[in-house]
């Protein structure tokens, strides 16, 4: 049997596929967070960054399809391994749940994984396709003219004077909605919870986890996942609560936010 065939048919191969695909997806979600945190800067930053990604055209879609394929492999491996584990327990299941040594995160991996999958589908429909928001921000927003050259680590992303989509305003107008903000906070919280066990499992699959430093590894992964959640919490939370206000001259600044307490405004 070929090496590739072994990866798909053996338990060890599926665990490796799950670990490698998980590592790729982890790299993406952290990179995605770094890009989104530019919402706290000048509108030129995130608008220029988004314009650069959109200008990649077929390359961007190739990356997206590659990530979707990676996610599909990850989900497939998880489902097959879960079914194999249940089948292997079979008659050995004496009705006593082995939760004593299992972490809370590991017990709810399937549940959090399903919610994260739903979040990914909604996120693509919302910000990428523009088909999940009733205001059609993606199509109706006016263009934004960059007031400065946008560069990342010295690499040019967009030139001053370029007309781009006002992604900055789209994010502000979306996260002013408490339902959308709440859903994003919940979903990224569950994703962080999912990563908490996933990180440890990945290290164990790669043979990098042992009894000598497993406690340090757990603290490290907890810190990383907490930082990831706080970063994602800050984006919708700061906008919804009015702590991060849109810059003057953007479309978001010209649209009055919905009051959090209408009775207070009436006084």
In this prediction the pTM is: 0.79
Q: What is the pLDDT of residue 259?
A: 53
Domain ranges, ordered by start, for the chain:
3-90+102-260
Question: What CATH architecture applies to the domain 3-90+102-260?
Answer: Up-down Bundle (1.20)
Q: What is the pLDDT of residue 161?
A: 93
- The percentage of residues in the chain with a pLDDT greater than 70, rounded to a whole number, is 73
24-40 residues labelled b (16+ CB within 10 A) or e (exposed): ebbeebeeebeebebbe
Structure tokens at 218: 């757990």
- Reduced 3-state DSSP string for 36-96: HHHHHCCHHHHHHHHHHHHHCCHHHHHHHHHHHHHHHHHHHHHHHHHHHHHHHHHHHCCCC
SS3 state of residue 20: helix
**pLDDT of 264 higher than 50:** no
In angstroms, the CA 127 to CA 124 distance is 6
Q: What is the pLDDT of residue 135?
A: 46
Q: What is the pLDDT of residue 103?
A: 53
In angstroms, the CA 240 to CA 253 distance is 14
Instruction: Answer yes or no: are the C-beta atoms of 109 and 198 closer than 8 Å.
Output: yes
| DSSP character at residue 152 | E
Instruction: Answer yes or no: are the C-beta atoms of 29 and 228 closer than 8 Å.
Output: yes
In this prediction, residues 206-230 reach a mean pLDDT of 83
**pLDDT of 128 higher than 70:** no
**pLDDT of 138 higher than 80:** no
Instruction: Answer yes or no: are the C-beta atoms of 167 and 50 closer than 8 Å.
Output: yes
In this prediction, residues 152-178 reach a mean pLDDT of 88
């Amino acid at each position: 049997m070929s090496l590739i065939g072994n990866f798909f048919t053996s338990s060890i191969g599926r665990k490796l596929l799950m670990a490698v695909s998980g590592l790729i997806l982890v790299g993406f979600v952290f990179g995605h967070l770094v890009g989104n945190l530019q919402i706290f800067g000048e509108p030129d930053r995130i608008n220029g960054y988004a314009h650069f990604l959109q200008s990649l055209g077929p390359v961007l879609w190739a990356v997206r399809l590659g990530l979707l394929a990676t996610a599909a492999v990850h989900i497939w491996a998880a489902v097959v391994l879960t079914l194999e584990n249940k089948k292997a327990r079979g008659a050995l299941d004496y009705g006593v749940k082995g939760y004593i040594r299992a972490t809370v995160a590991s017990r709810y991996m399937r549940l959090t994984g399903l919610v994260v999958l739903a979040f990914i589908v909604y996120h693509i429909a919302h910000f990428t396709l523009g088909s999940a928001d009733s205001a059609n921000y993606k199509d109706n927003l006016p263009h934004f003219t960059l007031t400065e050259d946008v560069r990342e680590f010295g690499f040019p992303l967009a030139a001053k004077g370029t007309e781009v989509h006002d992604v900055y305003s789209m994010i502000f107008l979306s996260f002013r909605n408490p339902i959308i903000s709440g859903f994003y906070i919940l979903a990224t919280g569950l994703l962080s919870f999912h990563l908490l066990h996933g990180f440890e499992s990945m290290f164990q699959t790669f043979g990098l986890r042992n009894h000598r430093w497993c406690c340090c590894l757990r603290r490290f992964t907890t810190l990383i996942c907490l930082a990831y959640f706080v970063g994602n919490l800050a984006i919708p939370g700061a906008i919804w609560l009015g702590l991060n206000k849109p810059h003057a001259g953007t479309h978001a600044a010209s649209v009055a936010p919905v009051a959090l307490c209408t009775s207070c405004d009436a006084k």
